[in-house]
Amino acid sequence: MSLKEPWSIKSRAKTCAVTDEPFEPGQKIRAAIFPDPESSGYLRKDFALDAWEKREDEDKPFSVWTTTYHPPVIEEKPEDVMEDDPETLLAKLVEEDEEHTENVRYILAVMLERQKLLRETDTQEIPSGILRVYEQRKTGDVYIIKDPQIPLSDVDKVQEEVRELLEPMPKEEKEEEVDQADQTDPADETPAPAPPSP
């Protein structure tokens, strides 16, 4: 069953959700994800630590963690670089939320965590499995990734699929392979019988 919900949550807010006071760079804040009844997905809210303790909102958060506020960083990348960027690919797959990409999304998230670009802030168990909450260290973007519990025997296959997505074969090479496949090796052809002698 596909989890048709928005698993990508926008970056940390610039102001406290309770006091509306702007955060200072380097300030410790409390980030929380709440179920969003309007979209059946999730909403992120950020709070100053003292405001979190005093909040009167009775909504129970799905996930809570402490993080450091940094002003949002927007990195411009050339279009051709973006196609091969693991984080861009992860964001695209999360946005599309196709069930058949669950394994790839998870492997990409683990790759980015190892590269210190994402950090895992929480795990939550739901009836259909385990959800892992990742935060992008610079922008504060949050991704909720379902852990597909990939069998060890399938890991290599998924990693190969990820590699092909990140390093697609150039169009010229693909066409060349098709042309070669269409050409019959003369050595494999059965020679025509010689005409009978007069």
- At 28-52, the pLDDT tens digits run 999 998 887 776 678 889 999 999 9
Residues 6+ apart with CB under 8 A from 145: 7, 94, 105, 106, 109, 131, 132, 133, 134
Q: Is the dihedral of CA 83, 87, 91, 93 positive or negative?
A: positive
The pLDDT of residue 78 is: 44
Is the pTM of the predicted complex or chain greater than 0.95?
A: no
- Strands of the sheet with 142-147, listed across from one edge: 8-9, 142-147, 129-136, 118-126
Q: Is the pLDDT of residue 156 over 90?
A: no
Determine the average pLDDT of the residues in 80-86: 58
Determine the average pLDDT of the residues in 82-98: 80
Question: Side chain identity at 93, as an amino acid letter?
Answer: L
Q: Do the Cβ atoms of 45 and 3 come closer than 8 Å?
A: no
